[in-house]
Structure 1
Amino acid sequence: MTQQQPTPEAPQVTVRGEGRLEVDPELARIGVSVRARGTDRSSVLAALTSRNAEAIALVKSYGEAVAKLETGALSVSPEPTRHGRGERVRGYQGWVHLSAELTDFTALGELVTRLADLEWTRVDGPWWALRPDSPAYAEARRQAVREAVRRAREYAEALGSSLVALLELSDTGIGQGAPAPMGGMRMAFAAESVEAPAPMELEPQRQTVTAEVAARFTMVPPAL
């Protein structure tokens, strides 16, 4: 479709509208790495399998608070000797990475503490986020449109004119503020204490949602 060109009889104004919201997160994601190491391949595999099953069972025990649990990368590899000739193996190491997504933040502090208290287990996170279909995105878009209309009217009024019709409205960007790299915590305990550690208190990080539109309007010809 050919874009309508402005004329003295139908002048146009083009503006941008921005929407910005700060809202509470709806999701918390954590990463769990379970490791095993030893001189015998079979014992390393057995320990890794056992620790992985223990971590999975612990996460699943929180029921509906956990929206998603997935197994990511897995690795089992030999460790070559540092000295000497030939292909000699001095031991084996393995690890499994899990990722979990929680919607109930009241259980989060207890879960990450209990996971970190498992033997040879590391916890990364939490990383806070919104659901893909969060109402916050729609509200940011509406805010951006209202801002575009307000700006266009202000420009028209500054010329002693008024808006006539909307010619074009385009979405130029919407997004969510991402956490800084490595922004989550890391925890790893030796699991040697007799008493379980107290649950860690975690404060959800508010999320910034932005939207931007470009709008083009026709105006009543101003009397200049």
Structure 2
Amino acid sequence: MTTPPAPAPEPGPHGTPDRPRLSVRGEARLEVDPEIARIGITVNARGRDRRSALDDLTRRNAGVLDLVKTYGEAVEHLETGAFSLTPELTRHGRGERVRTYHGTVHVTAELADFTALGELTTRLADLDLTRVDGPWWALRPTSPAYRRAREQAVREAVQRAREYAEALGTALVALTELTDTGTEDVRAAAFGPGRMRRMSMAAPAEETDAAPLDLEPQRQHVHAAVDARFTMRPPAL
């Protein structure tokens, strides 16, 4: 009975003279338009007693939600966050007495229609005791921009490896490892949002509605990187 020959050992981390290994990194950086924008809305209310403050806050919050919902499909996501109702104590006099109550509700809205965003932001900022923060520009988690960046990073890794092999007068044989080192939105991590803030009392009847804000979308920077390892034919050095 003939014993089959033992398979050739796999090359170590640095390869072998017979099977040299080549390690490269491929990267891609894309600049794309944002797909969504988020705004934060803070609704405030106050009253001399707890019940009046709560009733006022409930009314103002309902008005904000109704206004946002009138934009229909332009609003992709709407949620209510933190709620608080806090007593304010008097600073003078004997004992602790409640001077007034302050109520707050935080609402977040996410829009994909940036024309509607400018109009909605202006209308919200024009409401009594309402503050608007944002917008925060972003890509959806499923954005095709991330896929394009990953594909471009892989192509760059293969191209770079081929160039190194050609410089040695040889060619690639096989891919032995491909590692995704991460895809991220660089702009979102590096830059904060713009801020719009207005806390207003009721406008006089003769005032007309404020013109919609002209918001310029902030370009998003997507970065992807991969580490790739190849084996190549032994070069003639």
With the shorter chain as reference, the TM-score category is over 0.9
How does 1:148-163 map onto structure 2 within 5 Å?
148-163=157-172
Deviations 1:150-206 (A, max 9, x none): 111111111111111000001011100216565222221524142110101011111
Output the amino acid matched with 1:184.
G
Counterpart position of 1:192: 203
Residues 1:22 and 2:35 aligned together: no
| Cα drift, residue 38 of structure 1 | 2.6
Q: What fraction of aligned residue pairs are identical, expressed as a percent?
A: 65
1:53 aligns with 2:66: no
Structure 1 residues 24 and 17, CA gap change in structure 2 (3 angstroms) = same
**RMSD in angstroms over aligned alpha carbons?**
1.5
Letter in structure 2 aligned against 1:115? L
Cross-structure match for 2:107: 98
- Stretches (4+) displaced over 4 A: 179-182
In 2, distance between residues paired with 1:208 and 1:135?
A: 13
Letter in 1 for 2:125: A
How many residue pairs are counted as aligned between the two chains?
Answer: 223
1:183 paired residue number: 193
Greater Rg over alpha carbons, structure: 2
**Equivalents in 1 of 2:190, 2:225: separation in Å?**
22
CA distance in 1, matches of 2:36, 2:109: 10
Match of 2:77 among 68, 83, 88: 68
Structure 1 unaligned segments of length 5 or more: list them: none
Alpha-carbon distance in structure 1 between the residues aligned to 2:58 and 2:96: 27
Quick one: distance in 2 between partners of 1:215 and 1:74?
50
Contact in 1 for aligned 2:11/2:19 (Cα 8 Å): no
Match 1:89 to one of 69, 84, 98: 98
What amino acid does structure 1 have at the position aligned with 2:45?
A
Structure 2 unaligned segments of length 5 or more: list them. 1-8
2:141 corresponding residue in structure 1: 132
| Distance in 2 (alpha carbons) for counterparts of 1:63 and 1:163 | 55
Judge which range, 66-75 or 170-179, deviates more: 170-179
Q: 2:48–2:100: 8 Å Cα contact kept in structure 1?
A: yes
Deviation of the 1:85 alpha carbon = 4.0
State TM-score, norm by structure 1: 0.95
Per mean C-alpha deviation after superposition, the further-off stretch among 209-218 and 182-191 is 182-191
Deviation of the 1:87 alpha carbon = 2.6
